Structure 1
Amino acid sequence: MEDVFIECSPGISGDMLLGAFYDLGVPKEVIEQPLIDLGLKDLYQIDFKESKSCSIRGIKTKVESIDCSPIKRTWKSIKELILNGHLEENLKKIIYGVFESLAIAEGKVHGIKSDDVHFHEIGAIDSLVDVIGVCAALNYLNPKKVYCNEPILGKGFVQTEHGKLSVPAPAVIELVRQKNIKVLSHCNSIEGELSTPTGIALLVNLVDYPEPPSRYSINSYGVGIGNLKFPFPNLVRVYKITSFNNASFNDNEQISPKREEIIIQEAWIDDQTPEDISNFVEKLRNEGAYDVSYQAINMKKNRIGFSIQAILPIEKKEFFRRLWFDYSNTIGVRERTQYRWILLRRRGECSTIFGNIKVKQTLKPDGSIIMKPENDEVLRLNLEHKISTYEIRKIIKESSKKFRAFENWK
């Protein structure tokens, strides 16, 4: 099974991405079938034509609206259309996610509930075709992983049904903020919308890794051409690749180690008691910190203080940011985004001569599995049997038989 790499060159839009997938070899009937299933067949005509941008060839997508209805689509109506449609469940989930993120972003921008959002350009039939078609194309290719590079957003102004708006569009800014996407800022001298709300919404929902793999081979590629004229090629490329970032192991094609984005938050505090620091550290752990460490340090005026560092889930960074100010005396927190590589693990229980005990399995890069009893179980058996913890671990290892998993590898 191959991976997919979406190259924003320099930006991203739904029609360019759809053209690139078609050029890559996704059949037109695959793109159109979910549109037919949703009852949209008679509202549009789609055409894929050879085109060029600065002498580079590719496919330009043209969607002509034959929708005569004056009704403006809302997120509520699009939601009902998707949920009531006869679509494959995985495809339905992908399409729903793209439109939901757009609705949440638009709701935030306009200060209303997402269900009350009236889609204008996004609710037009050409945008529906772009979003649903791209989702169908990716579902058809069924890649193991989807990568992308950082897009450029553009500058200047664009004419919309809301009137003249500055670029990046407000919904683009909100999507980038919500999903913590990294974007590039060069080409600032170029006026124009390089990345559209539809394009960014597709990117944030379809991509697993927001940067290219460090090593990969290109098996095939497709090029989608945009409508705007720039002094450089205005295109999106989609590659089928074989990436070599990770290695696959075991029959279920699990990836171990896996890369994960995390947040590091830290502060130095010199005006709080050790008891209060201990309580705060425990609060961080109880609220879901991956790990917390702290140590005594010498600070200004020779005061003894504490250096506290927490490794946190990236999606909870704002929550933990508030905890520092609510439960500690610090007046500032340092924060940085990092990546970590972790071995897959899962919890379960194993039968031993002590009975069933809780254990954790870890999947090594060579495919072998290491099993370790939970420390609470070792301490319990130590008290019950008056045997050293070393002996208990040894007996568990030698007598362990059937393992029953409580969860999937993660």
Structure 2
Amino acid sequence: MEHLAYFDCPTGVAGDMCLGALVDAGLPVDVLHQQLSGLPSEVRFTLAVQPVQRQGQRATQVLVHPQGEQPHHRHWAEIRTWLAEAHLPPAVQNWSQGIFQRLAQTEGRVHGMPPEQVGFHEVGAVDAIVDIVGTCIGLHYFNITKIYCSPLPLGSGTVKTAHGIMAVPTPAVLQLCQQRQVPIYDNGIDRELVTPTGAAIVTTLAQGFGRPPALKLERVGWGAGGRELPLANILRLWLGSPPASALTEPVVLLETQVDDMSPQGLAYACERLREGGALDVWIQAITMKKGRQGVLLQVLCHPELVAPCEELLLQETTTLGVRRQWQERRLLPRRLVTVMTDWGEVAVKVAEYTGRRVNVQPEYEDCARIARTHGLPWKQVHQQVLHRFWQDMGQES
């Protein structure tokens, strides 16, 4: 059973907002405390959970108070060792390590050093560590299997950091958003809206950025930011499951047209794109300016593969640019069943809609293998598989 989470971020995203939204959605504070106790003893803190008002709207704020002498600067190697030794559920451990690893790689690019030498300042503080690990604990508590996020308003102005006064968005936030091709916009608020911690959480865990996926909304959590802003400073967390009738997921359509490539080069480019994980690749004949005959090359891919697919298009074709469209595709629930034929087993894909069987399709490769092996027409094999399916399973629900 899939469980979906959607981070709706009208005023950006920060680690404490993510954690606050999860607690507001129903993550028990005692469960959070119990699992956070699996962190090493060096991470000493107390939690304060309180309801607050932001522009007249109720939300939950989670404050992390460090205890004792706590450094504000820790290296990636130290945090990685802590997480490896922590007593945490495997999923929480893997997610947390992935978030910090992405941060280390990003900070390394920003400062021109290997990730192993990166020292975290604000992100290495106890509150940031608890925000990241606590967010992963909350997502694991709700058995979340897929995470999505809205486009992000990055804010503007300046912010004081351990490296001095920096322009907003900070270099790390820009790098994180660029790596995942996050859609960004300006909401007119002159403040830092996306922190490195928040950006690292969503760019590591989210499968896509854009409009919310289709889901049966089961819970909503409201996580408060620390400041009052012209817009209610609240991250809204939507939790639910896919509709029973169909699954919807975000996809990106990439397209470009060319009129100066050989058919062999185009075929090779399409092959590379499919090998690179594109969901589908197709070509249409078109007439371009000055009556030139050309082709429209279109690629459908998951959001996380936009950058590598665009790179392949730019490297393997003669195009000078690529357009992209953020879309959603609807998927019917499907399952594979095995049908026994005179020539052996064949897998058959069965798709359903509102509990009714609406599409039955034998697997092409299985039919092609049998046709080649036995010297039969492919369509004969295909037809017998369908006949056997309806004969043996047509009455099943």
Match of 1:342 in 2: 331
Find the aligned partners of 1:302 and 1:45 in 2 and give their Cα distance.
71
The CA distance in 1 between the partners of 2:121 and 2:257, in whole Å, is 46
- Structure 2 match to 1:203: 202
Cα RMSD of the aligned pairs, angstroms, is: 3.4
1:91-142 deviation per Cα after TM superposition (whole angstroms, max 9, x unaligned): 2122222222222222222222222211100000111121122222222233
Which stretch shows the higher mean deviation, 8-17 or 300-309? Answer: 300-309
Q: Secondary structure at the residue paired with 1:77?
A: helix
Match of 1:352 in 2: 341
Query: Aligned pair in 2 of structure 1 residues 356, 364: CA closer, same or farther (>3 Å)?
Result: same
- Give the Cα–Cα distance (whole angstroms) in 1 for the partners of residues 265 and 148 of structure 2: 44
Give 3-state SS (helix, strand or coil) of 1:37's partner.
Answer: coil
Counterparts of 1:132-147 in structure 2 under 5 Å?
132-143=133-144, 146-147=147-148
Contact kept? 1:43, 1:66, Cα under 8 Å: yes
Alignment-derived partner of residue 310 in structure 2: 321
Aligned counterpart in structure 2 of residue 307 of structure 1, from 279, 282, 296:
296
Deviations 1:21-64 (A, max 9, x none): 33344222222223311124762222223433344443333322
Structure 2 residue runs without a partner (length 5+): none
1:265–1:40 Cα change, 3 Å: farther
Distance in 2 (alpha carbons) for counterparts of 1:59 and 1:279: 53
Letter in 1 for 2:257: A
| Structure 1 CA distance for aligned equivalents of residues 290 and 193 of structure 2 | 53
| Partner in structure 2 of residue 293 of structure 1 | 282
SS of 1:364 mapped into structure 2:
strand
Larger mean Cα displacement after TM superposition, 36-45 or 133-142: 36-45
TM-score of the two chains, using structure 1 as the length reference: 0.80
User: Is contact 2:339-2:385 (8 Å) kept?
Assistant: no
Corresponding letter in the other structure for 1:342: L
1:408 is aligned to none
2:151 is aligned to 150
How many Å apart are 1:387 and its aligned residue?
A: 4.7
| Residue of 251, 255, 265 corresponding to 1:265 | 255
State how many pairs are aligned: 389
Matched, 1:233 2:223: no
Q: TM-score, normalised by structure 2?
A: 0.82
Q: 1:384 to 1:346 in 2, by over 3 A?
A: same
Alpha-carbon displacement from aligned partner over 1:72-94 (angstroms, at most 9, x marks no partner):
31111111111111211122122
| CA deviation after TM superposition for structure 1 residue 381, in Å | 4.1
The answer to whether structure 1 residue 364 and structure 2 residue 363 are counterparts is no
SS in 2 for 1:193: coil
Q: Could you tell me whether the CA contact under 8 Å between 1:157 and 1:167 is conserved in 2?
A: yes
The CA distance in 2 between the partners of 1:11 and 1:89, in whole Å, is 29
Residue 156 (structure 1) shift: 0.7
Partners of 1:69 and 1:208 in 2: CA distance: 34
Contact 1:260 1:342 in 2 (8 A): no
Structure 1 residues not aligned, in runs of 5+: 250-255, 404-410
Alignment of 1:5-404 (within 5 A): 5-40=6-41, 43-70=44-71, 72-143=73-144, 146-187=147-188, 190-207=189-206, 210=209, 211-213=211-213, 217=217, 221-240=220-239, 242=240, 246-248=242-244, 256-269=246-259, 271-343=260-332, 350-357=339-346, 359-367=347-355, 368=357, 371-382=360-371, 385=374, 387-399=376-388
